[in-house]
Amino acid sequence: MLHRKRPALASFFCPLLLLATLLLPAPSIAAGKLNELIHLEPFAFPEGRFLDREGTEYSIADWKGEVLVVNFWATWCPPCIKELPALKELDEAYGDKLRVVAISEDFKGFEDIDKLLARQEIEHPPFYLDDQMKMFIELKLQGLPNSFIIDQEGNAVIQVRGEIDWNGEKIKEVIDELLKDDQEKLDDT
């Protein structure tokens, strides 16, 4: 089990950095790209490092070969909290075919996360923690929630800035198409 102490400076500067990124205008948001699917030129999604509640370190590369929905959120973010039930339903609807990876940007660790999830009666998808905001910074995210759909090759193909209904038809079409491509590859072998 991995145990790390957070440097005192990180505890001070991470919240300031997050606040600064939330206050900066994002060009895509200004262009009407909030709360909708943004089709991306596929790019290799950073592997990143984040923790589960036992302190085990994970990376996006751990799930290469699977279709992923990677959701960045926080307990203090009302739109994030609002979309958690939809992420849970998405996880339930697709089961083992799709992996939903919910990565919290909370600074206090799983204490606040577990309280919120208990209140919301949400037990899955699995929740992870990026308490040093390394992935948030590496991806140059501006605001939460912020989500990506990752293909089997580890490429980001869709981004969603802001909350979205994860059970909407457009999302399901994209996911189903990626899963169909995956099944066709399996059938060809």
When mean pLDDT is compared across 18-22, 53-57, 185-189, the lowest value belongs to 18-22
Contact 135, 72 (CB under 8 A): yes
Section 91-114 average pLDDT: 95
Write the single-letter amino acid at 121: E
pLDDT of residue 181: 74
pLDDT of residue 35: 81
Would you state the torsion angle of the CA atoms of residues 170, 173, 174, 175, taken in this order, to the nearest 10 degrees? 120
pLDDT of residue 11: 53
pLDDT of residue 25: 38
From CA 162, how far away is CA 83, in angstroms rounded? 9
From CA 66, how far away is CA 48, in angstroms rounded? 16
Domains of the chain: residue spans and CATH: 8-188 (3.40.30.10)
When mean pLDDT is compared across 35-39, 68-72, 165-169, the lowest value belongs to 35-39
From CA 54, how far away is CA 142, in angstroms rounded? 28
Section 76-96 average pLDDT: 95
Q: Of 5 and 116, which is predicted with more confidence? A: 116
Average pLDDT, the chain: 84
Section 11-35 average pLDDT: 47
- Cα separation of the two ends of the chain: 38
Cβ within 8 Å of residue 142, ≥6 positions away: 21, 22, 24, 26, 29, 161
Kindly report, residue by residue over 131-145, the tens digit of the pLDDT.
889 999 999 998 999
Other C-beta atoms closer than 10 Å to the C-beta of 1 total 8
Looking at 24-62, list the stretches that DSSP marks H as alpha helix, in order from N- to C-terminal side.
Answer: 27-30
For residue 122, the Cα-to-chain-centroid distance in whole angstroms is: 16
DSSP element (H, E) containing 103: strand 98-104
Kindly report, residue by residue over 139-167, the tens digit of the pLDDT.
999 899 999 999 999 999 999 999 999 99
Q: Of 135 and 25, which is predicted with more confidence? A: 135
Q: How confident is the model at residue 1 (pLDDT cuts 50, 70, 90)?
A: very low
Q: Of 9 and 55, which is predicted with more confidence? A: 55
Write the single-letter amino acid at 166: W
pLDDT of residue 21: 46
Reply yes or no on whether the pLDDT at 10 is more than 90: no
